[in-house]
């Protein structure tokens, strides 16, 4: 098969999670439900944070940005997958594939950065409680989030431009349910040695850097918690970062496990299936993790729903007036 320049390729084929026809309705219903739950759950978190003045703190400011990033993260992959299942087509255009890869890298990197900012927030709250409001002022929080929103698309743009320089063969099949960056590089017909080096270097910087920052923050947090004399004080301090630690463990644990398992088994199909954990399941679980054990979030959601319930009858009553 002769290689051709990437710009001349019209279509790629996304093989998805399974090619069995009898499984397609099951996959469609499952992923549609997951997507709707993810969007609704994260929108409720954003609504609660925005509507309740008690939640206008650095921790919930970062949480609302994480929820927004999770909505966008899942929206880059699941809708196209659902369309392909419904139309019984595996085709994605070259431009569509590049665009999907760009936004996937963008929001995955944004997730990494925001999780790191949340770890830093917990570090300041536990290790420097008396200086918390001075250090974590609104200006610094806004600046940190702005840096995240600038750095992530720049990294994504760099990696996407690198892929645009590659040459591909015709009739390309991607053994995944989205245009995953690693598979795109491996499918190139041209020499991809430099691209592989840049890919792993970029992943090390974007994933390894934030992960090291999170580990450092929690090492300081653990040291501070151990120094607390009372067991009740230790529990209270740990409970403030338990939700974030659960989300970090889920996100990094599943993503690292996917790449280690795929490197060991060399099975593209198993890699695609395992990728569902950090690309689909984790964003869906984040709202539940942060709301189920968080009284502030649950209280804000109740108040928001209660206000909506009160305004509804008032509006209806006004409409009945002559």
140 lies in a domain?
yes
CATH number, domain at 293?
1.20.1070.10
Q: What pLDDT is attached to residue 5?
A: 46
181 lies in a domain?
yes
317 lies in a domain?
no
Contact 220, 123 (CB under 8 A): yes
271 lies in a domain?
yes
Q: What pLDDT is attached to residue 321?
A: 42
Q: Which of 193, 184, 194 is nearest to 164 (CA)?
A: 184
Contact 98, 160 (CB under 8 A): yes
Number of independent structural domains in the chain: 1
Query: What SS3 class is residue 173?
Result: strand
- Per-residue tokens: 88: 């019984």
2 lies in a domain?
no
78 lies in a domain?
yes
Domain span at 293: 7-312
DSSP 48-99: HHHH-GGG-SHHHHHHHHHHHHHHHHHHTTHHHHHHHHHHT--EEEHHHHHH
Q: What pLDDT is attached to residue 200?
A: 75
CA distance 22 to 5: 37
CA distance 103 to 232: 44
Q: What pLDDT is attached to residue 320?
A: 45
Q: What pLDDT is attached to residue 288?
A: 86
321 lies in a domain?
no
The reported pTM is 0.86
- Per-residue tokens: 316: 């209806």
CA distance 83 to 196: 31
What lies within 8 Å, CB to CB, of 118 at 6+ separation is 59, 62, 63, 66, 244
Q: What pLDDT is attached to residue 322?
A: 42
Contact 300, 290 (CB under 8 A): no
161 lies in a domain?
yes
Q: For residue 91, what are the CA distances in angstroms to 83, 102, 104, 142?
A: 10, 18, 18, 40
Q: What is the pLDDT along the chain (322 residues), one digit of tens a residue?
A: 444 444 456 688 888 888 888 888 999 999 999 999 999 999 999 988 888 888 889 999 999 999 999 999 999 999 999 999 998 888 898 899 999 999 999 999 999 999 999 999 999 999 998 999 999 999 999 999 999 999 999 999 988 988 888 887 766 788 888 988 878 877 877 776 777 787 777 777 777 888 899 999 999 999 998 888 888 888 888 888 888 888 888 888 877 766 665 555 445 666 777 788 888 988 998 888 887 667 777 777 777 666 555 554 544 444 444 4
Contact 122, 220 (CB under 8 A): no
Q: What pLDDT is attached to residue 163?
A: 86
């Amino acid at each position: 098969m002769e290689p051709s320049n990437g710009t001349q390729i019209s279509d790629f084929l996304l093989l998805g999670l399974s090619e069995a026809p009898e499984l397609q309705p099951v996959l469609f219903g499952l992923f549609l439900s997951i997507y709707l739950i993810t969007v609704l759950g994260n929108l409720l978190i954003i609504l609660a944070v925005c509507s309740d003045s008690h939640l206008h703190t650095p921790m919930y400011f970062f949480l609302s940005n994480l929820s927004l990033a999770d909505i966008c993260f899942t929206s880059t992959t699941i809708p196209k997958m659902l369309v392909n299942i419904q139309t019984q087509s595996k085709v994605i255009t070259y431009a569509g594939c590049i665009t999907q890869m760009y936004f996937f890298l963008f929001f995955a990197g944004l997730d990494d950065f925001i999780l790191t900012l949340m770890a830093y927030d917990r570090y300041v709250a536990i290790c420097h409680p008396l200086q918390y409001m001075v250090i974590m002022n609104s200006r610094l929080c806004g600046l940190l989030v702005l840096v995240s929103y600038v750095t992530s698309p720049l990294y994504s743009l760099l990696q996407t431009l690198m892929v645009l320089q590659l040459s591909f063969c015709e009739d390309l099949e991607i053994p995944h349910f989205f245009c995953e960056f690693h598979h795109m590089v491996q499918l190139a017909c041209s020499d991809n040695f430099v691209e592989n080096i840049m890919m792993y270097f970029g992943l090390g910087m974007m994933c390894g850097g934030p992960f090291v920052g999170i580990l450092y923050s929690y090492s300081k947090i653990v040291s501070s918690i151990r120094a607390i004399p009372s067991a009740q004080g230790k529990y209270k301090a740990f409970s403030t970062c338990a939700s974030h630690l659960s989300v970090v463990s889920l996100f990094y644990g599943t993503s690292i496990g996917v790449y280690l398992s795929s490197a060991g088994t060399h099975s593209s199909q198993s890699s695609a299936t395992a990728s569902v954990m950090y690309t689909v399941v984790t964003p869906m679980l984040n709202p539940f993790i942060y709301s189920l054990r968080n009284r502030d979030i649950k209280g804000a959601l109740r108040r928001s729903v209660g206000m909506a319930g009160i305004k509804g009858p008032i509006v209806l009553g006004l409409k009945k007036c002559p």
